[in-house]
Amino acid sequence: MNNLSNVKKMYIKYINNVIKNNKVSHAYLIELDNYERDTNYVYDFIKMILCNLEYDDLDKSNNKIIKLIDEGNYPDITVISTDNTVIIKSDIIDLQKDFSNKSLYNNKKIYIIYSAEKLNNYSANTILKFLEEPEDNIIAFLLTDNRFNILDTIVSRCQILSLKEESYKYQLNNDTLDFIDYLLNPNNFLINYNDLVKNKYSDKSIMKDNLIESENIIISYLSKSDERLNDVFRNVLSEELIRIISIIEIYLAQLKYNINYKLWLNSFFSSLLGG
């Protein structure tokens, strides 16, 4: 593990915490840097979930499920991929039929969708039932090389993880630091709500830019690619920063629609407060 990049180390730390704390989500959207190189990390996570093992224990285990997955013979994993430009609705319908059957191993059933950006409106609407009304025994893994190409309705219902190695560009200026402080201390925003909405964050486009900038900064900090950020996030748990990223993703998707901006702001910062 010492030879891994900081991004990979952060990913492994996160999935270990998921297993330790029994906090497995019903759906993951995982952004890959390279399918050929990074898909193994997705399958490692799946093995950890199915076998209740931490990452470092995978190679030591003689679990039958791990062997079957490595051989491509585990019956409760379904993969959807296509060489076409879109994933069609019938592919998702076939998936639903398959998952109406009970697990052969009395365990979780997993489906993996490669190139999830190929889900069009028809196929996405079909899969939303899985995502909106998740069953305890079904977990989705949606893979993409760019999460910003995924339909908003999908993004807002998934836990976002990234294995991207690229450096995110951002400006670490006073305005950005002020906004990050509001993300970390949302009550301060609500206290100064009227003034901030009237001046600094007067419309959706300004807010959108700040959210994207802040998300990139948080990701850079989590991947330990910028030592300047150590002081910015001092004493803030990585789990809290991951929670903030998840909230940002959900509310960024909503900004694309014709919404009441002030109500959106109240909802966003209330969610940061845990409300």
Give the pLDDT confidence of 56-65 residue by residue, as tens digits.
999 998 999 9
Is the C-alpha dihedral spanning 214, 218, 221, 223 positive or negative? negative
Spell 251-274 as b/e; 16+ CB within 10 A means b: bbbebeeeeeeeebbbebbebbee
Per-residue confidence (pLDDT) for residue 114, from 0 to 100: 96
Phi and psi at 254, nearest 5°, equal: -70, -25
The pLDDT value given to residue 97: 82
Which residues in the chain land under pLDDT 70?
Answer: 1-2, 166-169, 223-225, 275
Q: What is the pLDDT of residue 88?
A: 86
d(CA 266, CA 275): 10
Cβ-Cβ contacts under 8 Å for 71 (sequence gap 6 or more):
none
pLDDT of the residue at 55:
95
Measured over the CA atoms of residue 221, residue 246, residue 141 and residue 216, the dihedral's sign is: negative
* Dist. CA 154–CA 27, nearest whole Å: 10
pTM of the full structure: 0.68
Find out whether 108 and 52 touch, Cβ atoms under 8 Å: no
The confidence score (pLDDT) of residue 1 equals 59
Separation CA 247–CA 125 (nearest Å): 22
Domain ranges of the chain: 6-162, 174-273
> Quick one: pLDDT at residue 2?
61
Report how far residue 256's alpha carbon sits from residue 254's, in angstroms, rounded to the nearest whole number.
5
**Of all helices (H) and strands (E), which one includes residue 51?**
helix 35-51
Predicted local distance difference test score (pLDDT) of residue 228: 82
The predicted structure's pLDDT at residue 250: 84
Q: What angle do CA 36, 40, 41 make, to 5 degrees?
A: 120
Judged by DSSP in three states, 119 sits in: strand
pLDDT at residue number 23? 87
Handedness of CA 120, 126, 128, 134 (dihedral sign): negative
Cα–Cα dist 143/114, whole Å: 5
pLDDT, tens digit (0-9, with 9 covering 90-100), for 13-30: 889 989 998 989 999 999
pLDDT at 225: 61
Q: What confidence score (pLDDT) does residue 96 get?
A: 80
Closest CA to 104 of 79, 80, 77, 131: 77
Whether the CB-CB separation of 69 and 47 falls below 8 Å is answered with: yes
Q: Confirm or reject CATH 3.40.50.1820 for domain 6-162, answering yes or no.
A: no
